[in-house]
Structure 1
Amino acid sequence: MTTTRRKFIQQSIAAGAAVSLGGGISARALARAAQGQAAKPLHILILGGTGFLGPATVDAALARGHTLTLFNRGRTEKRTGKDFKGEERVTRLFGNRDPLKHSVDEDPTSPKGLTQLEGKSFDAVIDNSGYYPRMVRASATLLAPSVKHYVYISSISAYADTLTPNNDESAPVARLDDPTVETMGEEMKNYGGLKALCEEAAEAAMPGRVANVRPGYIVGPGDPTDRFTHWPVRADMGGTMLAPGSPDDPLRFIDVRDLGAWLVRIVEDTTTGLFNACGPETRARWGDVLQACVDASSNKPELVWVDAKFLAEHGAPPGSLPIWLPPEGEFAGFHTWKNDRARKAGLSFRPTADICRDTLAWFKSLPPERQKRLHDRIAASPEKAVLEAWKAAKG
């Protein structure tokens, strides 16, 4: 694996592990009201639930009339503020995904491991906090006798490589030399292989009752990584804006609200199997995505398209700019994964224009110091130097 590939996987880890740093309660309440009720209310356990994807899933489940229990260490919510206190249909349990550890490391009296889940029964589990197979195996094994359905949130990084365009769920998964490793390794090199092993651990504990969901980039309001957010925010800054690659380059991403709603629907339908949770319905054109960012902005920038070869020669190799990758070489298939199976199971996608608009509006609602973090990152990007070199080269 090349250094570039490892760097990009390191960026990808946040798609599943990230925590949200904001979000409007009133907007979430309005979104709930717009959704219909499920035919049968369920009791759903979410392992995690207070970061980025978790709250979107909770909102969707509450909108459908379900009752939830959130199991986690109680740490992430202190950063995100999403503890769902006051929600009558949300119960909180605490512990640690590692059966050997307490929810609070320095407090041996805090709940240990999965003990607060013992003796509990649920209609379904959504596991969005499982990163090591030993821990996924522990939770799935404990819950197998009292749970009908297990939904594990994996990652598109579970695949062995992205060399081949237009692959589906039958593509080979990543493998580790040591399947017992419990560190992500240098530049997150173990992440994909660990996700694949977690999928297998869940299926082994609950054969035929598991949905393994492999999202790509999860984006939208609340995204703490600023990867997709970079582009509508940069567009809103106006001026001359670098547009890397070609307008025809492919792109895959999914709004966190669409993914959260679909997770609830597959629980309602007891859907099982492997799924690439990548949007849009047909993969996006990079040029259309950047144009949607421009359209959402207040200060319309001028897009200057610079090809991948020139970028690499002038300090902007693949992975140095967020989200975009040239569809060639080791990245030929990165943004071309097929999503037919997930769409047949009900996954749907909102317009890219809505995602760009909502993401920019959310970003502008954040505290100034939080906004400064991304503004500083944009200022430190290779954009300015590349544009100057491009202008000089073109005379």
Structure 2
Amino acid sequence: MKLLVLGGTHHVGRALVEAALERGDEVSTLNRGLSRAPAPGVRALIADRTDAESVRRALGDGEWDAVVDTWAWAPQVVREAARLLSDRVGHYGYVSSRGVHRWPWPAGADEQAPLVDGDPGSTDDADYAAAKRGGELAVTESFPAAALLARAGMILGPYEDVGRIPWWLRRLEKGGRVLAPAPAETPLQYLDVRDLAAWMLQSAERGLSGAFTVTGPPGAITLGDLLTTALEVTGFDTELVWVQPEVLMRHGLPLGMEFGLRLPDGSAPSGMHDADVSAALAEGLTTRPLRETLADTWAWLQAEGDPAPRADAPSPDTWLDAAAEQRLLDQLSH
């Protein structure tokens, strides 16, 4: 395919570019050109997405088979891009989020679960859920029959800049005893970023449209699987000390929030890790083993160092205060 990636240097965008190049696609990217240099073979278009005229100049008279948009902020930016490309692109893939569903999420929710309100013309990005829903509406305005809305769950794997697995790997690397939010049998639902990228590109090639919940199958792994596998692939000499969430919260340690297992008040939300993904699986979504995701994430961190965190990502200190952790570990050892 002749592919345009709006973004292309971080997390999902980077995975999309690498997957497309591996497929043999002809890849263009559009971004500000301020961070990573474009991959060899990529045609880099430079523009500020928030400046519609800048985007118009950068796109020129180009035409593409498909575009994938990773924008996560003000919907108006997505609307401008979709309008500019409406008669020059055959397929528009938008990396959305399960966050577009109205809270609280019902258990076992599929694509039909209630949605939040969104405004495709909004310039506000304070409300992530509303912004993503507005982005969806902005895409379907210009591509009513050729838009793929990939409502992703928790995205892990190399290039993650949200602060989940990289944070845990660095924490486990320190060795000794570390707290973990019990129970270890808590189910987790996630998708490797490379599996998301591969599915979106295959779907674009096939002309698949519509909204899909895109994450791994429910019940496939647990939190214990994730952390013990992380120790196995890295070889860290670290002991996991499993502590009930109410004890952690009492000591000001909101571990589990990083995986959506707890809300700030300590309660456990419904629907976070049991989404119905049968529609995406039926349309060819495949998932790689957890061990591969964790090993490749650790290899990436060793090769490139920690990524600069996203502006909207929590501070690394959010999940754990080291002094408070040590106090609780000392208590538990007596």
TM-score (normalizing by structure 2)? 0.87
Match of 1:197 among 122, 134, 149: 134
Q: Which runs of 5+ in 1 are unaligned?
A: 1-41, 102-111, 371-375
Task: Tell me what 2:43 maps to.
Answer: 91
Task: Tell me what 1:276 maps to.
Answer: 213
Q: Does the aligned pair in 2 maintain the 1:230–1:322 contact within 8 Å?
A: no
- CA distance in structure 1 between the partners assigned to 2:306 and 2:187 by the alignment: 33
Shift of 1:295: 1.1
Shift of 1:169: 1.2
Q: 1:182 is aligned with what amino acid?
A: T
Question: Is 1:382 the counterpart of 2:334 in the alignment?
Answer: no
For residues 26-65 of structure 1, the aligned pairs below 5 Å read: 42-65=1-24
**Change over 3 Å in CA distance of 1:227–1:369 after alignment to 2:** closer
Q: Does the aligned pair in 2 maintain the 1:281–1:349 contact within 8 Å?
A: no
> Any idea what the Cα deviations from partners look like across 1:232-283, whole Å, max 9, x if unmatched?
3322322112111211212122222222222211111111111122125644
Q: SS state of the match for residue 202, structure 2?
A: helix
Q: 2:278 is aligned with what amino acid?
A: D
Task: Tell me what 2:188 maps to.
Answer: 251
Provide the alpha-carbon RMSD of the alignment.
2.8
Q: SS state of the match for residue 70, structure 1?
A: strand
Q: SS state of the match for residue 347, structure 1?
A: coil
For residues 114-193 of structure 1, the aligned pairs below 5 Å read: 114-129=56-71, 131-175=73-117, 180-185=121-126, 190-193=127-130
Task: Tell me what 1:12 maps to.
Answer: none
Q: 1:83 is aligned with what amino acid?
A: P
> Any idea what the Cα deviations from partners look like across 1:366-389, whole Å, max 9, x if unmatched?
35998xxxxx94799236534643
For residues 224-373 of structure 1, the aligned pairs below 5 Å read: 224-280=161-217, 282-317=219-254, 322-323=258-259, 325-326=261-262, 329=267, 331-367=269-305
**Change over 3 Å in CA distance of 1:127–1:166 after alignment to 2:** same
Q: SS state of the match for residue 94, structure 2?
A: strand
**Change over 3 Å in CA distance of 1:377–1:46 after alignment to 2:** closer
- CA distance in structure 1 between the partners assigned to 2:319 and 2:96 by the alignment: 32
Range 380-389 or range 284-293, more displaced: 380-389
Q: SS state of the match for residue 145, structure 1?
A: coil
> Any idea what the Cα deviations from partners look like across 1:121-164, whole Å, max 9, x if unmatched?
21111111253222222222222222211101111222222442
Identity %: 31
**Change over 3 Å in CA distance of 1:366–1:143 after alignment to 2:** closer
Question: Is 1:74 the counterpart of 2:13 in the alignment?
Answer: no
Q: SS state of the match for residue 69, structure 1?
A: strand
**Change over 3 Å in CA distance of 1:330–1:239 after alignment to 2:** closer
**Change over 3 Å in CA distance of 1:379–1:124 after alignment to 2:** closer
Q: Does the aligned pair in 2 maintain the 1:48–1:128 contact within 8 Å?
A: yes
- CA distance in structure 2 between the partners assigned to 1:380 and 1:326 by the alignment: 11
- CA distance in structure 1 between the partners assigned to 2:190 and 2:209 by the alignment: 22
Q: SS state of the match for residue 86, structure 2?
A: helix
- CA distance in structure 1 between the partners assigned to 2:116 and 2:333 by the alignment: 43
> Any idea what the Cα deviations from partners look like across 1:330-359, whole Å, max 9, x if unmatched?
622222222221111111111111212222
Q: Does the aligned pair in 2 maintain the 1:96–1:113 contact within 8 Å?
A: yes
**Change over 3 Å in CA distance of 1:56–1:100 after alignment to 2:** closer
Residue correspondences, number: 326
TM-score (normalizing by structure 1)? 0.74
- CA distance in structure 2 between the partners assigned to 1:70 and 1:200 by the alignment: 23
- CA distance in structure 1 between the partners assigned to 2:94 and 2:327 by the alignment: 46
